[in-house]
Amino acid sequence: MAGNWKMHKTVDEATELVEQLKKALADVEGREILVCPPFTALHAVARAVEGNNIQLGAQNLYPAAEGAYTGEISPRMLVDVRCRYVVLGHSERRQYFKEIDPFINHKLRVALEHGLNPILCVGETLEQRGEGRQKTIVSMQVYRGLQEIDAEAMKNVAIAYEPVWAIGTGQTATPNQANEMHWAIRNNVSGLFGEDVAQETCIMYGGSVKPDNVDDLMAQPDVDGVLVGGASLKAESFARIVKYRS
Ligand code: PEP
């Protein structure tokens, strides 16, 4: 159950939110909880969640350990602030920063080399869905994003299916639409790494997940988790999402 805070929250605001989450989620067991603050708040949030049931993730990285890459953040720096996860290939990065599959794949391989657990985001646009190409588009993103990864490394990779038309729009995929796509993605993973790995792979849904739709989404057999943007910015709504009723 992951929250992507995007470009929101100063250090003080991030600390306040995570302190509220710690209280609200203290009794949660057996569910993985992840928050992905902006880079500037990672260190403060890392300290706040130490010894807690909340894990820390970053929203991006540059695929080199260090070097002359002005403005970028390396996997080594993320590990240094105790990040365990990293979101890669988010549709906002594909759309606004022109990130393409081979670059995302490079990031994913370098993240794994540094011991980070990548969450690979995939998803079709409204236009592509309108043309009935959603499965072709998403499976291409999965195949290209997972190039040169072996079955062992795949155990540390999660996939987030995030239809672009559902992100930040209030328009959620129906539970059936989500499950159909998750099933197709699991088939893609099975083709690449075998059925055992496919069954173990965490496939998350993202796109306007809210307290009032999470229960139905999580009830789907192939929906293993959620990646939440807007509704993760308030402790009350994210806590309710984490505590979905199955
Ligand atoms: C996201 O940022 O990955 C996302 C799914 O955003 P939202 O929940 O706001 O649609």
Which of 242, 220, 208 is closest to 175 using CA atoms?
220
DSSP state of 28: -
Tokens, residue 226: 């959620």
pLDDT mean over 47-73: 97
Ligand 1 atom nearest to 169, measured from its CA:
10
3-state secondary structure of 132: coil
User: Where are the strands (E) in 101-234, listed by range?
Assistant: 117-122, 158-161, 203-206, 225-228
Query: Which residues are annotated as catalytic?
Result: 90, 162
DSSP state of 224: -
CA separation for the pair 223, 130 (Å, rounded): 23
DSSP state of 232: G
Ligand 1 atom nearest to 4, measured from its CA:
2
pLDDT mean over 222-227: 98
Is the minimum distance from the CB of 37 to ligand 1 under 6 angstroms?
no
* Distance of CA 68 from the midpoint of ligand 1 (Å): 32
* Distance of CA 153 from the midpoint of ligand 1 (Å): 26
- pLDDT tens for each residue of 115-170: 999 999 999 999 999 999 999 999 999 999 999 999 999 999 999 999 999 998 98
pLDDT mean over 73-93: 98
Is the minimum distance from the CB of 230 to ligand 1 under 6 angstroms?
yes
Greater confidence, 190 or 169?
Answer: 190
The pLDDT of residue 201 is: 98
- pLDDT tens for each residue of 92-123: 999 999 999 999 999 999 999 999 999 999 99
Please state the length of the chain.
246
Name the one residue in this structure whose structure tokens are 């990031």.
107
Residues with Cβ within 8 Å of 89's Cβ and at least 6 positions away in sequence, in order, are 99, 101, 104, 107, 108, 120, 121, 122, 141, 145
Residue 221 φ then ψ, to 5°: -60, -30
Q: How many CB atoms lie within 10 A of CB 96?
A: 9
pTM: 0.97
* Distance of CA 67 from the midpoint of ligand 1 (Å): 31
Confidence of residue 234 (pLDDT cuts 50, 70, 90): very high
The rounded percent of the chain whose pLDDT value lies above 90 is 98
Confidence of residue 37 (pLDDT cuts 50, 70, 90): very high
Residue 18 φ then ψ, to 5°: -70, -30
